Amino acid sequence: MLSSLTSGVSGLDSFQDQMDVIGNNIANLNTTGYKAATVDFADAFSNTLQNPSGGTSTSDGSAAIQVGTGVDITGTGNNWGQGALTATGVESNMGINGNGFFLVKDPSTGTTYATRAGDFSVDANGYLVTDTGQRVQGYNSSSLSSIGDIQITGTATANVSSYTINSQGVITANLSDNSTQVDGQVLLQNFAAPQNLLNQGDNLYSNLEAAGAGTVTAPGSGGLGTIAAGQLESSNVDLSTEMANLITAQRAFEASSKIVTTSNEVLQTVVNMKQS
C-alpha cells in the first residue's frame, strides 16, 4: 500500500520534470544553436520479499519476489545533432556545418565558454563578439600563430571597408586603399564527452575540461566542421516529436496521480476498518 503511494509520488515528480524539459525545448524552438534536451529514467530501488533459490534434483527452486518503489531520473542529455543552416546575409554571422563549438571569452572575467550559436557582430573596437559581449577566440593576427580575442582592424593609413570569412574561418579584411590583409582565423573546439558541458544560459556552455576539451583546431580539420559565413544554425528541436512526448508525459502524470489517489483511498479504508 505505502509502496504504491511512494511509486505514484515518484512518478509525479519525474514526469513533472520531463514536462519541464519538454516545455523548455519547445520554448527554444527558434533559439540559435539550441540543442534539444532529453530525460533519462531508471527504476528505483526494489524491496526484496523473497530471494531466489537454486533448483535441485527434486525441486525447481523459487524465483525472487521484488517490489519496486518507483522511478528516478538519472540525468538529462542533449541531442547534439546538426541544426539546419539558415542564410542571414550578415557576414559576421557564422554557422558550423558539422562537429565543433565556437569558443568565446568574457573580457571582464577571462572565463572561456563554448557555444554553437554564431550570431556574432563586430563591436566599436573591431572585436568579433556575441550579443552579450563575449569575444570570439581564434588566431588574432595575420601570422595565424597566437590565440586570443579576434579583432578586425585596419592599418594606420587605411580603414576596413568590408571583410570576408571563408569555410576555414580565415578573416580577410578589405581596406579603403584597395589592399587586403588577414586579420585572424576563427577556431573550433571539439569535446570527447559533450554531455558533461553545463548550460550557463545565453547559448553558452561551461565545464569545458570535464567535457574532454581537445586541442583548439582550424575548421575543416581534425574531424571538425567547416564555417558557413552569413548563416546561422537553427535549433534542432523537432516540434512534432516534442508534442508527442508532451502528451505521453501528461498521460503518465495523470496515471501517477491516479495511483496516489487510489492508494490514499485504500489507506483511508484501512483506517476506517480499524476504527470501526
Give φ, ψ of 213 to 5 degrees: -65, 130
> According to the model, what pLDDT value does residue 241 have?
97
Count the neighbouring beta carbons within 10 Å of the beta carbon of residue 205: 21
pLDDT in tens, 5-51: 889 999 999 999 999 999 999 999 999 999 999 999 998 888 888 88
Average pLDDT over residues 85-99: 97
pLDDT in tens, 114-171: 999 999 999 999 999 999 999 999 999 999 999 999 999 999 899 999 999 999 999 9
Please, what is the angle between helix 239-275 and helix 2-27, to 10°?
A: 160
Contact 149, 136 (CB under 8 A): yes
**Is the pLDDT confidence value at 246 over 80?**
yes
> According to the model, what pLDDT value does residue 249 have?
97
Tell me how far CA of residue 172 lies from CA of 27, 151, 251, in angstroms: 37, 11, 56
Percentage of the chain lying above the pLDDT 70 cut: 99
**Is the pLDDT confidence value at 1 over 70?**
no
**pLDDT grade for 200, boundaries at 50, 70 and 90:** very high
Q: How far apart are the C-alpha atoms of 276 and 269, rounded to whole Å?
A: 10
* pTM of the complete model: 0.87
**pLDDT grade for 59, boundaries at 50, 70 and 90:** confident
Average pLDDT over residues 188-195: 96
**pLDDT grade for 276, boundaries at 50, 70 and 90:** low
Side chain identity at 160, as an amino acid letter?
V
When the pLDDT of each residue in the chain is averaged and rounded to a whole number, the result is: 93
> According to the model, what pLDDT value does residue 163 have?
97
pLDDT in tens, 204-230: 999 999 999 989 999 999 999 999 999
Beta strands in the chain (DSSP E): 37-43, 46-50, 65-68, 71-78, 85-87, 94-97, 101-105, 112-115, 121-122, 128-129, 135-139, 147-149, 160-165, 170-175, 180-186, 188-189, 198-201, 204-206, 226-229, 231-233
